[in-house]
Structure 1
Amino acid sequence: MKWTLVMASISLMAGLSAASAQSDLDALRWKNRILILFAPETNDPALTQQKQRLLSDREALSERDLVVLSVAGERVEALYGDPKAQHSAAALRRHFGLGAKPDFEAILIGKDGGVKWRSDAPFEPKAMNAVIDAMPMRRSQR
């Protein structure tokens, strides 16, 4: 009986944490696309490389209404744009089904809140921009 209660409590807490991550992301729904960069540590070479690539063209980020977050260790950092809420690293990892210290992973979330694209390696921004530019909402902006 006690074991069942403990397991139910853990499941409930994990569910609430994932729900919290979704509600934090919902603050940006219909206003911004969100790119989340996950890495095991803040000094991860893949994360450093991706930050440099993305932030070298801030105009492209702005044109595509992007908010860019990095989640490294227990730290969530806004790299570009206003995230509108504080985010929990653990909740974001759970929400997207990643382990406690995931390898590099980039996840693009559309304005509708759905995952639109993922990459498990640093990418050239033009690849992500092509995905965004093909989205109906983006085409209607131009």
Structure 2
Amino acid sequence: MKWTLLMASLILMAGLSTASAQSDLDALRWKNRILVLFAPSADDPAFVRQSRTLLADREALAERELVVLGVAGDRVETLYGDPKARHEAAALRRHFGQAAASPFEAILIGKDGGVKWRRDAPFDIGGLNAVIDAMPMRRALR
């Protein structure tokens, strides 16, 4: 009986954490696209390189209504944008299937909340812009 209660509690907590990550992201739905950069630490070379590349063209980020979140280790930092919701690293990692020690990965979430693009290596902002510019909601504004 105790084992069953323990397992039920663990499953419920995992479900709440995943739901928490989704509700945090839902706060930005229909307002922003979200780019989440995952890395094992803030000094991961791919994470540092990608952050610098993105922040070098803030105008492109603003024009495409992007919020950029960095999930490095057990911390979440807003690298660009002003999200209204709190984000928890563990919940985001679970939601996207990322272990704390997982190597660099970037995930683009569209305004509708769906995953639109994933990369496991740093990329140039032109490639990201092309993906976003091809999205129906983005094309409708042009």
| TM-score between both structures, scaled by the size of structure 2 | 0.97
Question: Which amino acid letter does the alignment assign opposite residue 125 of structure 2?
Answer: P
Question: Which amino acid letter does the alignment assign opposite residue 26 of structure 2?
Answer: D
In structure 2, the partner of 1:75 is: 75
For structure 1, list consecutive stretches of 5 or more residues without a partner in the other structure: none
How far apart, CA to CA, are the structure 1 residues paired with 2:121 and 2:6?
A: 38
Report the alpha carbon displacement of residue 100 of structure 1 after superposing the two structures with TM.
2.5
In structure 1, the partner of 2:10 is: 10
For the residue of structure 2 that corresponds to 1:122, the secondary structure is coil
Report the alpha carbon displacement of residue 101 of structure 1 after superposing the two structures with TM.
2.2
How far apart, CA to CA, are the structure 2 residues paired with 1:130 and 1:100?
A: 30
How far apart, CA to CA, are the structure 1 residues paired with 2:129 and 2:64?
A: 8
How many correspondences in the alignment? 142
Q: Find out whether 1:97 has 2:111 as its counterpart.
A: no
In structure 2, the partner of 1:140 is: 140
How far apart, CA to CA, are the structure 1 residues paired with 2:30 and 2:89?
A: 23
For structure 2, list consecutive stretches of 5 or more residues without a partner in the other structure: none
In structure 2, the partner of 1:131 is: 131
How far apart, CA to CA, are the structure 1 residues paired with 2:2 and 2:119?
A: 42
Task: Give CA-to-partner distance per residue, 1:87-106, whole Å, 9 cap, x none.
Answer: 00000000111113221010
How far apart, CA to CA, are the structure 2 residues paired with 1:141 and 1:101?
A: 39
How far apart, CA to CA, are the structure 2 residues paired with 1:82 and 1:141?
A: 22
How far apart, CA to CA, are the structure 2 residues paired with 1:105 and 1:85?
A: 22
How far apart, CA to CA, are the structure 1 residues paired with 2:139 and 2:24?
A: 26
Work out whether residues 21 and 91 of structure 2, in 8 Å CA contact, stay in contact via their aligned partners in 1: yes
Q: RMSD in angstroms over aligned alpha carbons?
A: 0.8
Runs of 4+ in 1 over 3 A off after TM superposition: none
Q: Find out whether 1:61 has 2:61 as its counterpart.
A: yes
Report the alpha carbon displacement of residue 7 of structure 1 after superposing the two structures with TM.
1.4
In structure 2, the partner of 1:51 is: 51
